[in-house]
Amino acid sequence: MPALSALDVGSEFEFVLNGEFRQEVFQGSGRILYDRDFVEPVRVSRGGMIPGEAVFMAKLDADGFVPFAFTPLPGSRSLPAGRGELLRVRFRLLSAPPPSFRIRLLNTAEYLQLRDRSGGRISFDLATEVVSQ
């Protein structure tokens, strides 16, 4: 993320979620949290790691979060092990945020899930937390 204090109100910026998978992933879901007093999402796009034939869903009209999910169709390939971009969320800055402001990935088992081809949950560590600078 860019240093938000350097942006003018009304400017747009991108939040990028990257992943590093140690094994194939068939399905995933999660939520990107934000404070709607300071930013609003204007567009979401799938990252290059999610194959074009896979189903990708994200909503912009939820209150304070952007839910997303992806899954290949039956008979399609899984996301391979490796690193890559999962999604991009473009935000508009509505007002100057405080220094503690951040956009983050919700790290709870209820909403952040990865599954293998048989539907089993894949355990993972969320190594880093994204913060504004």
Mean of the per-residue pLDDT values for the chain? Answer: 88
Task: Evaluate whether residue 92 is within a structural domain.
Answer: yes
Residue 123, domain member (yes or no):
no
Q: Structural domain of residue 24, as residue ranges?
A: 4-108
| The pLDDT value given to residue 45 | 96
In a domain, 59, yes or no: yes
Model pTM score: 0.86
With beta carbons less than 8 A apart as the criterion, state whether 57 and 30 touch.
Answer: no
Count up the domains in the chain and report the number: 1
Write out the two tokens for 10: 């009304």
Q: What's the CATH number where 97 sits?
A: 2.60.40.680
Q: Is 39 helix (H, G, I), strand (E, B) or coil?
A: strand
Rounded Cα distance between 79 and 19, Å, is: 11
pLDDT at 132 over 70: no
In a domain, 84, yes or no: yes
CA–CA separation, 104 and 31 (whole Å):
8
Residue 46: inside a domain: yes
**Domain membership flag for residue 128:** no
Q: Is the pLDDT at 23 greater than 70, yes or no?
A: yes
